[in-house]
Amino acid sequence: MDQTMATPDYEAEYNNRARVPEHPGIIAGWQEDAAAYRTTALCELGISYGAGERQLYDIFKPETVRGNALVMFIHGGYWQALDRSFFSHMARGLNRLGLPVAVVGYDLCPQVHLGHIVWELQQAAAALWRRFGLPVVATGHSAGGHLSACALATNWHNVDPDLPDRLVPAAYGISGLYNLKPLTETSINKALGLDMEAAERESPLFWPAPSRLTMDAVVGGAESDEYHKQSRRLVDVWGLEGVQTRYEEIEGANHFTVIGGLTDPDNPMTRRIAALAGA
């Protein structure tokens, strides 16, 4: 068998910006929509959860609270780009459904190691729980999908013995990356600096599965085969280990348009996250 046919071209499969040439306009639109939402939303901006200048979250509050959890939104950018200010409007749909949403920032590679970013998001979730006394439903896009799954699979007693077991009872990963090993063969890894051992250590697919908790893995229908494989494999592996898993494809969506529905309270994606948060 021709091995060149059997091995995916990981560079092509994971280079979303090359796959979607119109991405600069989409990202610029995010920035504009996020800024516009901050002017009208009931929000507190730039709340610190750690020592780093990016270790901040913005909390967007509903007029009337209807759920029994808080939603934490984690942005993407392959752990090396963007920041929380591009994604304020991702809270709009959930706010309309009565849910508070924390849009969380974090330090980026190569200034910090990827494992440090995982730790930062654990600190962010713990800070939200300490402040609001509510469980945290983690959702995120791309690298944020990875970090959401990590939050779900975290042993919270190892973070702080005073934290509850089910601090994060559910996660909703959008176009997430759950096995980081393929990235070691791509240009994305220049900033990440992962060897195979570190890639496995920071991959939630290889962590003890968070049995009895809930993991949704959602991916755009127009995304690469590798992105579909990433979500399907997590759902299959964790599902066999007692996690309540669910896989879904958003028809026609690419890696950048897939999150657009979160601005709309009537979108099925928004409604599913709201249901996970008890609204």
**Contact criterion met (CB below 8 Å) for 135 and 70:** yes
What pLDDT does 1 receive? Answer: 43
- The predicted structure's pLDDT at residue 30: 97
This prediction's pTM? 0.96
Instruction: Give the 3-state secondary structure percentages of the chain, helix then strand then coil, rounded to 5.
Output: 45, 15, 40
pLDDT at 5: 58
Q: Can you give the pLDDT at residue 18?
A: 87
Tell me the helices (H) and strands (E) count for the chain, helix number first.
Answer: 12, 8
The first and second tokens of residue 177, run together, are 């990356």
In terms of residues, how long is the chain? 279
Q: How far apart are CA 212 and CA 220, in angstroms?
A: 26
Q: What's the average pLDDT block by block, 10 residues per block, for the chain (279 residues)? A: 68 93 96 98 98 96 95 98 98 98 98 98 98 98 98 97 97 98 97 98 98 98 98 98 98 97 98 96
